[in-house]
Amino acid sequence: MLRVSRWYFGGLASCAAACCTHPLDLIKVHLQTQQEVKMRMTGMALRVVRSDGVLALYSGLSASMCRQLTYSMTRFAIYETVRDKVADGKQEPMPFYQKVLLASFGGLTGGFIGTPADMVNVRMQNDVKLPPELRRKKLFSGASMASSRGALVSVGQLSCYDQAKQLVLGTGIFTDNIATHFIASFIAGGCATVLCQPMDVVKTRLMSSKGEYGGVIHCLRDTAKLGPKAFYKGLVPAGIRLIPHTVLTFIFLEQLRLYFGIRVITST
């Protein structure tokens, strides 16, 4: 008997994964927003611990949870609900291009809805506490960037995971188990990292700014002045954070699906 995921499982799985990878996310934000000093991941982690203590690595965790319950829950709910409805009664899986389009739409929607929580998350990680001048309208600062980034990372994670899982199962060597989920999610995490890193850098710089950028174009130009490599600044830390986060998210999601998912009787 087949089980399909419930609409909110993606948000719960993302929250569980975020609890494990939040320190890496915080270090990534600090690396992307540094101006002059070019510190590496280990050096940045040590600086945060020395200046604010070990618990500072979990600064902004509450905002991160809120982000997962808005951004991730929305994109997973849209993608998996529509995918399962389209595939209902069909023998063939959804074509990859349709998965990409669906993941893009889910990511765009989730990115916009999750912008306020994402904004608070970045500011809390970068500034430790929110400035008093933060106003309601500022919570949607960088919404276009967050939505675009959400679309890219969703294409890398959701559609690539489904496709990779389909290919792995198609070999006949693996079954629907943790090994398959790990391989497929590792591939998806790598794809998502490469796809969204340039957008992620610009989005983070825009959200953590204190008014020095006039908009997305201004931020893009300012970042471009630092050279092409600036758009992939912090790529390794981003991969170190995003790949484990993707792996954990899909492993948690698949376990939720296998044990608590909706039962579907398939025709033989």
Contact 239, 188 (CB under 8 A): no
DSSP string of 69-96? IIIIHHHHHHHHHHHHHHHTT-SSPPPH
Residue 112, classed as helix, strand or coil, is: helix
At 88 the pLDDT is: 77
Q: Per-residue pLDDT averaged across 65-75, rounded?
A: 94
At 74 the pLDDT is: 97
Q: Per-residue pLDDT averaged across 100-119, rounded?
A: 92
Tell me: the pLDDT tens digits for 215-237? 778 888 888 888 888 888 878 87
pLDDT mean across residues, the chain: 86
Tell me: the pLDDT tens digits for 13-27? 999 999 999 888 888
Residue 4, classed as helix, strand or coil, is: strand
Distance, CA of 173 to CA of 153 (rounded, Å) = 29
How many CA atoms are closer than 13 Å to the CA of 11, on its beta-carbon side?
17
Distance, CA of 119 to CA of 115 (rounded, Å) = 6
- Residue 247, both tokens: 């792996």
Res 1 pLDDT > 70: no
The domain total for the chain is: 1
Instruction: Say which residue the tokens 């008093």 belong to.
Output: 132
pTM: 0.83
Instruction: Identify residue 233 by its one-letter amino acid code.
Output: K
Segment among 154-158, 167-171, 192-196, 201-205 with least mean pLDDT: 201-205
What is residue 233's DSSP assignment?
T
Contact 64, 119 (CB under 8 A): no
| Enclosing domain of residue 224 | 2-264
Short-list 71, 73, 95, 72, CA closest to 83: 95
The CATH number that applies at residue 205 is: 1.50.40.10
Question: What confidence tier does 205 reach under pLDDT thresholds 50, 70, 90?
Answer: confident
- The H-or-E segment that residue 45 falls in is helix 41-52
